[in-house]
Chains A and B, each alone.
Chain A
């Protein structure tokens, strides 16, 4: 009897202790400041004034795992970052909880691709899953409340008091792909149906129904003026080794024999008129799955050059033969070719003789195979599942390996990133420090490689549009534009004027939204917290307008081939007008906080200086180039989507330092607002989708009423429009610089090869020029001022 009562009393005491401990724990969660990709932007929005995470007692985002007890896995879990995530989790304080935020983290989401782990629950125990792509901030709040309920049901006092039993923290077992969780990306129960895309991807797929469809030939342009002259000069000078492509859709294209390519590139860079000073892009195509195999070499190397004098572009195609071909490096002509050649080596296995440092760049150093080869499986579900053991074994390369020679012995080698507040994403800098001074800077990228280019080869032309949104997750719809323009160029699709203006308006809204985030995070980087809470207010206004028009926030996926997804809704004009009225005074207010602030100026003026010559030579684009003094903006230089009809200026600054980059972006916001104002005031009436439904998804009303449109809708939605065989490139001035899409069609419903030229890749490659010789604190100021984003560097 006595023993029973004592036991009872003990139980009651423990229960009360549970209540007390749980109450204090659940209202003081400390999430770790760690974002993997897009979802983190919504997580950060939940932290700002409109959603106010502080109401739930979880506003203290800790940059160190030692101080955090809640891991919100927000975004895509890449195989290259998974070991880091696991380590961070294990370094967190006890007890700890895990929330998986967004489809990618839950199950791989739309990224069923070789570089992505199909769910974080394969390496960590997960307490709460938040669905969405990305989930809205409210969904995160909901997830937090659910986690609080889960914590409320725990029995921690027994483990706290070292008694047997009790529960606290995440205790769910990790799942094993294929055993305790379904390997099917569509979820369990779908085993009977073949996964979309697997059966139609070459080389296996033979009898495409697209062959039964007729299409007009691809768009053809006539070479004019300087292009024609240049073609003649090249033919004259290099004779048989160059061949001008007779039919092109976008730019002068020259086939060059591999042994002469360096001479021709050198000629084009230094002697030709006009001079092609920038190596715009360098990539390759694996031709082994072409349907007319005999007409193509094994690989084609594609150099794309740009002339600042004429604004024109030029494409050099170099056929390569053999299974693992070797060609000569052009790093001595363009230093920027360094990373491009490494990328081609990494993804295609083409080697470059004379390259100073030819090793993998995007994939982990111990990766096997070359993912962009046609023989390489695209889907993660086609290759063995990722396991906990792999996450323990496949560690990122040791920092010392990046640093050359004796420097590593008596200087401090420090990893900044991939988990760091100020690297703005999964970027790893390996800095060598002599005191506070940076003596060398190495970069390790690829932690955010989502393999969008590989995915493009299995999704239909329309299905790929949502992936373009996520290439630069702060630029939303502005990302769609270069892709749809490239396909429209190739297929010769005419876009109605109304759709063009809608596209411009949305692109500019996203420029504003991006620059507001830049403003906030940059001020934060150099020590000012306040602007974060202010600028997200206007950013939310913009996202509300975007949501009103498109239904989405970060990733509207709203542009379509031939137009946009739907017409503007009622009430859009009032919302836009209201924003246009309010914004200038708000911007002025924020500017007074920052522009003349002595601390801000001390941190930025004269820091991270980049000369104009260097910027042009390294292919730097966007505000970073304009901050060096060159008024180069594709919206003016090669207007697209009707930008020529708008009245705006290109802001520039001459110094090329961090402060200049800040000034340019702020002024760009004013100019974007002008464009938005004009677009809203002069919105043309008419259709939002082209009239010719051959390649496009018809207007909804027509689809419901008219059998022709219904058939087009059915074909173009299911197996995708057959885009004529050919290739085209289109580039747009997105907020961060020039983003271009190079699409190659083999006459099927999906692209044969899609190449994304992201501005970040080139903008980041010049970092050592700015950083070496500066202090470690300047590194943070410089990173922030470049305003890069990882998915567009690693793609």
Chain B
């Protein structure tokens, strides 16, 4: 039996530029037609009240562009950090057999470091949420 060449099993990268273009045009046309139909068929009456933001039937007060309190950013950033780190761990998990013990050690070091970071922000109160009265 002849060994199977890996190249012939997996299809080679042959960019069929025509089909790709056609596909892209179709998608764009479909999306555009949907958007157009929705906007053209939908009845619009742009009165002053209709364009006003809805706030329980009352005319809204003040601006909605406020300085948000810091905890919102903190939670968002912590989430982002731990989320991105997940990407490293998943990629390691796929290749863990190949990477062997050294890979395991490296990722363990990475995870421990993360845990230390988590303990640190936990201690610092970075994960506190809710009204001031409950934080005390």
- Pick the most buried of A168, A409, A414, A438: most chain B CB atoms within 10 A of its CB: A414
List B contacts of A159 (CB < 8 A): 43
Q: Roughly how many angstroms separate A409 CA and B62 CA in the complex, as a whole number?
A: 8
Question: In chain B, what residue has the closest Cβ to A434?
Answer: B69
- Does B22 count as interface, using CB distance less than 8 angstroms? no
Show the binding face of A for B, using Cβ within 8 Å. Answer: 64-66, 84-88, 90-91, 94-95, 159-162, 168, 395-396, 398-400, 408-420, 428, 434-438, 773-775
Shortest beta-carbon distance from A478 to chain B in Å: 31
Contact partner of B68 among A417, A435, A774, CB < 8 A? Answer: A435
Show the binding face of B for A, using Cβ within 8 Å. Answer: 40-45, 47, 49-50, 52, 54-62, 64, 66-69, 71-72, 130-133
Whether B61 contacts A411 by the Cβ 8 Å rule is: no
Whether A399 contacts B61 by the Cβ 8 Å rule is: yes
Given contacts A90-B49, A94-B45, A428-B56, contact A413 B61 (CB under 8 A): yes
Whether B52 contacts A91 by the Cβ 8 Å rule is: yes
New contact pairs (14) apart from A415-B60, A773-B133, CB-CB < 8 Å = A87-B52, A94-B44, A95-B43, A160-B43, A399-B60, A408-B61, A411-B66, A412-B62, A415-B61, A417-B56, A435-B69, A437-B131, A773-B131, A773-B132
Whether A437 contacts B132 by the Cβ 8 Å rule is: yes
Counted as pairs of residues, one from A and one from B, with CB atoms less than 8 Å apart, the total is: 86
List B contacts of A773 (CB < 8 A): 131-133
Whether B61 contacts A400 by the Cβ 8 Å rule is: yes
Given contacts A91-B49, A435-B71, A437-B131, contact A64 B58 (CB under 8 A): no
- Pick the most buried of B49, B50, B61, B72: most chain A CB atoms within 10 A of its CB: B61
Given contacts A400-B61, A411-B66, A418-B58, contact A87 B49 (CB under 8 A): yes
Q: Roughly how many angstroms separate A735 CA and B69 CA in the complex, as a whole number?
A: 42
- Pick the most buried of B44, B52, B71, B130: most chain A CB atoms within 10 A of its CB: B130
Q: Roughly how many angstroms separate A395 CA and B60 CA in the complex, as a whole number?
A: 12
Q: Roughly how many angstroms separate A88 CA and B54 CA in the complex, as a whole number?
A: 8
Q: Roughly how many angstroms separate A159 CA and B130 CA in the complex, as a whole number?
A: 51
List A contacts of B54 (CB < 8 A): 64-66, 91
Question: In chain B, what residue has the closest Cβ to A398?
Answer: B61
Question: In chain B, what residue has the closest Cβ to A168?
Answer: B43
Whether A774 contacts B56 by the Cβ 8 Å rule is: no
Shortest beta-carbon distance from A770 to chain B in Å: 12
Given contacts A435-B71, A437-B132, A775-B131, contact A88 B57 (CB under 8 A): yes
Q: Roughly how many angstroms separate A409 CA and B61 CA in the complex, as a whole number?
A: 10
List B contacts of A94 (CB < 8 A): 42-45
Q: Supply 8 A–B pairs (Cβ within 8 Å), ascending by A.
A: A84-B58, A88-B57, A160-B41, A161-B41, A410-B67, A418-B56, A437-B131, A438-B131
Question: In chain B, what residue has the closest Cβ to A777?
Answer: B130
Whether A419 contacts B72 by the Cβ 8 Å rule is: no
Q: Roughly how many angstroms separate A321 CA and B61 CA in the complex, as a whole number?
A: 42
Q: Roughly how many angstroms separate A435 CA and B130 CA in the complex, as a whole number?
A: 9
Q: Roughly how many angstroms separate A755 CA and B131 CA in the complex, as a whole number?
A: 40
List B contacts of A88 (CB < 8 A): 57
Question: In chain B, what residue has the closest Cβ to A401?
Answer: B61
